[in-house]
């Protein structure tokens, strides 16, 4: 009988990316693959495109750190989701659960524990997110990207340092395809702007206000988020897109410098591809502060410069871009010293070991 694996994780593209990297291997090995996610989250949209994976939606709630009337309703959604996940465990009888985090994963990990199914959680940030903090006591192992993450996990015996994982296809892009896709000139550098899967109003505004200065130096790909394209601004050398999916490897291959949020998955992809970065982390008002810590870690290693959104201005952005571009060889030298191999091998080995 073939082995069965359940993947879970959602709420943002970053909570699905690693699962998308692992699924092809287990498909090739003949495992039965299921995915448990939310009813309307981005994970459903992304996983629905993957052949050979059965998607099961469950109810979920966001466990907020602040007061919101939805906090009164969401615990019931979590309980409902746990009941649904519990029933799915009995139906699917998986050998292992692999979770990339996000609030939808909490009921799945808990249901796995109730059904004596081993589970592995992956934490990509320096400090664990709230969902993973809740789920870790019920998990078998916790994979971490940063070694320092172990200091923030009480059950240290569960921690396995697997390092950064980057999808194989991300490293197989074709810069010529990327340039042809957006009709870019082969001899002018390319700046990529990534403001997160939903975009960033402030980053979008400052980029657009700086276009004349930016286009004097670069050709610009601006990933601005769903519904945020301004058609009136279309011009040669400036390409706006809501988001990038299948063509992302080619876009990254042609990119020379990046302005981005500081989500762990993205910044390690840029590191793997040796792309100097300017990172604009989410503020503490917008998040739990994990991106601030990620960005500072990369700044200390000499991979990136960091700008804070609450003090961001057109002048600061243009000056920092100019400075980083002038010193790009220094950033590349530092990136070349990184010792990780970015492969999925360590996690795949752990999944097979725990599922025995």
Q: How do residues 255-286 score in pLDDT, each as one tens digit?
A: 999 999 998 889 999 999 999 999 999 887 77
pLDDT of residue 73: 67
The region that residue 305 occupies, defined by phi over 0 for left and psi between -120 and 50 for alpha, beta otherwise, is beta
> pTM of the entire structure?
0.82
Q: What one-character DSSP code corresponds to residue 330?
A: H
pLDDT tens column, 38-55: 998 889 999 998 999 999
Q: Cα–Cα distance between 192 and 88 in angstroms, integer?
A: 41
Q: Tell me the pLDDT tens digit for each residue of 221-256.
A: 999 988 888 988 989 999 999 888 889 999 999 999
DSSP 3-state assignment of 252? helix
Residue 71: other Cβ atoms inside 10 A? 14
Is 80 exceeded by the pLDDT of residue 143? yes
Q: Give the rounded distance of the alpha carbon of 257 from its chain centre.
A: 19
Phi, psi (deg, nearest 5) at residue 344: -85, 0
pLDDT given at position 70: 58
pLDDT digits (tens, 9 = 90+) for 166-214: 888 899 999 999 999 999 999 999 999 998 655 578 899 999 999 999 9
Question: CA-to-CA distance for 184 and 237, rounded, in angstroms?
Answer: 6
Assigned token pair, 224: 């601005």
63-84: pLDDT as tens digits: 555 555 555 666 788 889 999 9
Please tell me the predicted confidence (pLDDT) of residue 43.
93
Q: Do domains 4-163+341-355 and 171-335 have the same CATH topology?
A: yes
Cβ neighbours, 10 Å, residue 44? 18
User: How far apart (Å, rounded) are the C-alpha atoms in residues 18 and 43?
Assistant: 12
Rounded to an integer, what distance in angstroms lies between the CA atom of residue 171 and that of residue 98?
A: 24
CATH, domain 171-335, list 3.40.50.150, 3.40.50.2300, 3.30.450.30, 3.40.50.2000: 3.40.50.2000
CATH classification code of 4-163+341-355: 3.40.50.2000
- Sorted by where each begins, the domain ranges of the chain are 4-163+341-355, 171-335
Query: CA torsion 181→247→271→98, rounded to 10°?
Result: 180
């Amino acid at each position: 009988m073939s082995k069965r694996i359940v993947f879970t994780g959602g709420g943002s593209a970053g909570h699905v990316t690693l699962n998308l990297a692992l699924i092809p291997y287990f498909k090739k090995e003949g495992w039965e693959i299921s995915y448990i996610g939310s009813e309307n989250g981005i994970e459903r949209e992304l996983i629905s495109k993957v052949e050979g994976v059965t998607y099961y939606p469950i109810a979920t709630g966001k466990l907020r750190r602040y007061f919101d009337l939805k906090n009164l309703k969401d615990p019931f959604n979590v309980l409902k989701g746990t009941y649904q996940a519990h029933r799915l465990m009995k139906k699917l009888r998986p050998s292992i659960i692999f979770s990339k985090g996000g609030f939808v994963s909490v009921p799945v990990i808990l249901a796995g524990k109730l059904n004596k199914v081993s589970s592995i959680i992956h934490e990509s940030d320096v400090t664990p997110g709230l969902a993973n903090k809740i789920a870790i006591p019920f998990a078998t192992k916790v994979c971490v990207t940063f070694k320092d993450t172990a200091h923030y996990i009480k059950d240290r015996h569960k921690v396995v340092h697997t390092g950064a994982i980057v999808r194989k296809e991300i490293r197989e892009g074709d810069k010529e395809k990327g340039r042809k896709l957006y009709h870019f000139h082969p001899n002018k550098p390319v700046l990529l702007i990534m403001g997160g899967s939903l975009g960033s109003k402030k980053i979008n505004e400052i980029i657009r206000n700086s276009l004349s200065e930016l286009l004097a130096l670069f050709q610009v790909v601006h990933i601005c988020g769903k519904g945020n394209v301004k058609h009136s601004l279309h011009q040669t050398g400036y390409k706006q897109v809501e988001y990038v999916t299948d063509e992302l490897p080619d876009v990254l291959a042609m990119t020379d410098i990046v302005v981005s949020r500081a989500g762990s998955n993205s910044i390690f992809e840029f590191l793997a591809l040796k792309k100097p970065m300017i990172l604009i982390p989410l503020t503490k008002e917008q998040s739990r502060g994990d991106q601030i810590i990620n960005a500072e870690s990369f700044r200390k290693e000499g991979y990136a410069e960091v700008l804070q959104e609450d003090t961001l201005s057109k002048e600061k952005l243009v000056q920092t871009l100019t400075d980083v571009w002038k010193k790009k060889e220094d950033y590349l030298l530092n990136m070349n010293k990184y010792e990780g191999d970015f492969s999925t091998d360590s996690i795949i080995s752990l999944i097979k070991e725990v599922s025995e």
